[in-house]
Amino acid sequence: MEKREIEWNPTEVRSIVERFRERPGALMLVLHEVQKRIGHIPRDSVPIIARGLNLSRAEVHGVITFYHDFHSSPRGRHVIKVCRAESCQAMGAEKLAAHAIGRLGIEFGANTPDGEYTLEPVYCLGNCACSPAMMVDEELYGRVDPQRFDSIIASLGERRR
C-alpha cells in the first residue's frame, strides 16, 4: 500500500484526550475524534492516548485494530465504500466492485498512488431498497451502476476545481 506522510500535532491529540477523558467509555470517542481530525490514528499517538486515559498501549492498540473504521495509516482524500452485502449482491454489487477496482486501479483496502482515493468494502449502508449502494466520504448513493460510479467519481474531481 502506498505510504503518505501526514503532519499531525501531538498537542492536538492531547487536547482531544483532555476533552473526553471524563466521559464514560471515553476511548471510542477519542479514537473517532483523532481519526476525524488527522484522517487516521498515527501509531505514535497511541502512547499519548493511553497515558491520557490511564490505559495500557496494548489496550488502545487492541481497540484500534478491532474496528474496521479505525486506521493506523493515512488514507486517500476520498474514501469510497462499495457495499458488498447480500441485498446489493442481488442487484449486481460484484460487477460494481470489479468496475471500481478497474476504474481506480487499486484493490479493496488500498489507496491510489496519488493519495486521492481509498477503496473499501462495506457490509450494508442501510440503503438496501436502492441497491447497489455506495458511500463516498459521508455521502450516500443508491442504484449505482458502473456508469453512475464513473460520474460520481468525476464529480469529486470537479468539486475540488
Q: Report, in Å, the least distance between residue 114 CB and other proteins.
A: 25
Q: Report, in Å, the least distance between residue 160 CB and other proteins.
A: 19
Give the integer Cα–Cα distance in Å for 101 and 107: 6
145 binds other proteins (CB under 8 A): no
Contact 142, 135 (CB under 8 A): no
The x, y and z cell numbers of residue 96, run together, are: 460494481
Contacts with other proteins in 68-87 (CB under 8 A)? 68-70, 83, 85-87
Contacts with other proteins in 91-110 (CB under 8 A)? 91
For Cα atoms 143, 149, 151, give the angle at the middle one, nearest 5 degrees.
115
Which residues, 6 or more positions from 69, have their beta carbon under 8 angstroms from its beta carbon? 35
- What is the binding site for other proteins (CB under 8 A)? 24-29, 31-32, 59, 62-63, 66-70, 83, 85-91, 122-131, 133, 135, 138, 140-143
